[in-house]
Amino acid sequence: MPQIKKILLFGVLYLLVIFMVACSGDNGSETDSNEGNESASDEQVTIVYATGVDTTGATESQIEAFEQEYPHINVEYREMPADTGQQHDQYVTMFGSQSSEVDVYNGDIIWAAEFAQANYALELDRFIEADSFNLDNHFDGPIQAGNYNGRQWALPIYMNASFLYYRTDITDTPPATWDELIEQAEEMQGEEGTEFGYLMQGSQYEGMVTNFIEIIASYGGSVIDENNNVVINSPETIKGLEKFAEIAQSDFVPGNILNFQEIETENAWIAGDAVFARNWTYMQSSSNDEARSEVAGNVDIAPIPAGDEGSTSALGGWMAMINRYSEHPEESWELVKFLASEEGQKKGALEGARAPTVESLYNDPEVQEAGPLFSNPSFVEGLSVAVPRPVSPIYPEISEIIQIEVSRVLTGEQTAEEAVENMEAQLEAALEE
Ligand code: GLC
């Protein structure tokens, strides 16, 4: 069976199991977030909320709304690096020394297993139960991303899928395949003052891993299968990786594409420098922000180009977690609950074009207006088939192996065949330990 079908089939089975488990539980309705006020003491408490750089203003507006509803809780906003890997490492240092300097933090959906195991996150089950917080009105994938060993360590704030952004003043027919992308990027580069045909994330970091995962998946390749077997050494993965390298080494991407993360992509994109760009959902927001963007009104979104097996996106997203060493777990929970609630997520969607995990928000007219994608049924469908990264407490190690070996292909230091052999050996050794 082609790999992509396996991924989809596994996904469907997974969802089915989750659904059955969810149905067997006792789920009350989500509490109104105002209810938290009633138990509030008069004492004023300040909690620190840490998130990666947010260029959209969504975080600030969420904090403002939260503080209005919970006047006894002040939220101090701590900005962390934009790079998820750098954020991760700072938290590991912080929580590794049992620091209580941060109370609530945004966790990447790849962190829950590791942070649960390392005892960095506070279990949320007792809070969820006490407040009858309803998990059922969220998509399953992001809820499951916060669940490890049958317990909930995080609640989703928004989910991410990637898209091909394109300039509607240059083309009406965005490329459907990687080969068409290469052709059109070469041909259209230079039109309407653009300098580049295409932008993506080629820097050696987690974002590059997501670019890699989706391009290999579009050719039918994957890293680890559902039984934890390393399956990376396949003709499909080699083909996808070769395509990735061909693009990275082309003349239609910036010469320093191997330094590009999401922020560099966004800056060059809104400056009007490129015809096409790969980025997450949120770039809808800055693309159409007239105050910041040179290309407002001239941007639309298409699925990520397809390989031999179809188009895929990596599944991304962020969850709210509580530092196990927080001195204010109750107040921290109120913030987590707010951020994950329909109300909190709606703010994120309106201000930051963040894709909600609360399914009903896609029918909300204000949300639909905020991001053209949110009213598009194929977008919502796309979110539900996005390809997850391997779920493992040693995910950082897995990612680092991929980062190093794939980077050496993008720079031309080794072939795709050599890289998959190296990754296979190193991943097997890491998983065996
Ligand atoms: C986005 C995704 C996150 C991913 C990161 C990679 O923030 O939401 O899941 O790890 O990009 O840069």
Alpha-carbon distance of 368 to 350, in angstroms, equals 9
CB of residue 84 inside a 6 A radius of ligand 1: yes
pLDDT digits (tens, 9 = 90+) for 328-368: 999 999 999 999 999 999 999 999 999 999 999 999 999 99
Residues 6+ apart with CB under 8 A from 381: none
pLDDT digits (tens, 9 = 90+) for 136-163: 999 988 999 999 999 999 999 999 999 9
Ligand 1 mean position, distance from CA 428 (Å): 25
| Residues 281, 161 contacting (CB under 8 angstroms) | yes
300-314, 369-383, 415-429: least confidently modelled range: 369-383
- DSSP letters, 129-146, are HHTT---TTB-HHHHHHT
CB of residue 202 inside a 6 A radius of ligand 1: no
CA dihedral 271, 203, 57, 62 (to 10 degrees): 160
Does residue 381 register a pLDDT over 50? yes
Alpha-carbon distance of 152 to 79, in angstroms, equals 25
Whether the domain at 45-159+317-388 and the domain at 161-314+390-432 fall into the same CATH topology: yes
| Residues 356, 349 contacting (CB under 8 angstroms) | yes
Ligand 1 mean position, distance from CA 142 (Å): 13
How confident is the model over 211-233, as a mean pLDDT?
95
pLDDT of residue 371: 79
Taking CA atoms only, the protein residue closest to ligand 1 atom 4 is 316
Alpha-carbon distance of 315 to 382, in angstroms, equals 10
192 φψ region: left (φ > 0), alpha (ψ -120 to 50), beta (else) = left
| Residues 283, 269 contacting (CB under 8 angstroms) | yes
pLDDT digits (tens, 9 = 90+) for 86-121: 999 999 999 999 999 999 999 999 999 999 999 999
Return the domain boundaries, the chain.
45-159+317-388, 161-314+390-432
| Residues 348, 158 contacting (CB under 8 angstroms) | yes
> In this prediction, what percent of the chain has a pLDDT beyond 70?
90
CB of residue 141 inside a 6 A radius of ligand 1: no
Ligand 1 mean position, distance from CA 115 (Å): 17
Does residue 3 register a pLDDT over 80? no
Does residue 181 register a pLDDT over 50? yes
**Helix, strand or coil, per DSSP, at residue 230:** strand
Beta strands 104-108 and 162-167 are: unpaired
pLDDT digits (tens, 9 = 90+) for 9-30: 444 444 433 433 333 333 333 3
Alpha-carbon distance of 173 to 89, in angstroms, equals 42
Alpha-carbon distance of 307 to 329, in angstroms, equals 47
CA dist 252 to 87, 144, 194, 279, 410, Å?
A: 31, 39, 10, 17, 15
Beta strands 104-108 and 45-52 are: parallel
Which of 108, 109, 110, 282 has the most ligand 1 atoms within 8 A of CB, as the residue to mutate? 108
**207: nearest Cα among 285, 166, 129, 259:** 259
Which of 87, 105, 210 has the most ligand 1 atoms within 8 A of CB, as the residue to mutate? 210
Confidence class for position 73, pLDDT limits 50, 70, 90: very high
Beta strands 155-160 and 316-322 are: antiparallel
How confident is the model over 369-397, as a mean pLDDT?
84
| Residues 155, 344 contacting (CB under 8 angstroms) | no
Beta strands 147-148 and 151-152 are: antiparallel
Predicted TM-score (pTM) of the model is 0.87
Position 159, amino acid: M
Does residue 420 register a pLDDT over 50? yes
| Residues 208, 406 contacting (CB under 8 angstroms) | yes
Indicate which atom in ligand 1 lies nearest the CA of residue 109.
9
Ligand 1 mean position, distance from CA 162 (Å): 10
Alpha-carbon distance of 41 to 230, in angstroms, equals 52
Question: Yes or no: is domain 161-314+390-432 CATH 3.30.70.270?
Answer: no
Alpha-carbon distance of 220 to 218, in angstroms, equals 6
pLDDT of residue 195: 98
Does residue 37 register a pLDDT over 90? no
CB atoms within 10 A of CB 282: 22
How confident is the model over 199-204, as a mean pLDDT?
98
- DSSP letters, 147-187, are EETTEE--EEEEEE-EEEEEETTT-SS--SBHHHHHHHHHH
Alpha-carbon distance of 381 to 384, in angstroms, equals 5
CATH number of 45-159+317-388: 3.40.190.10
Confidence class for position 41, pLDDT limits 50, 70, 90: low
Alpha-carbon distance of 218 to 4, in angstroms, equals 7
CB of residue 210 inside a 6 A radius of ligand 1: yes
Biggest CA-to-CA distance, the chain: 65
pLDDT of residue 9: 41
pLDDT of residue 38: 44
Angle at CA of residue 162, ends 157 and 166, nearest 5°: 130
Alpha-carbon distance of 355 to 330, in angstroms, equals 27
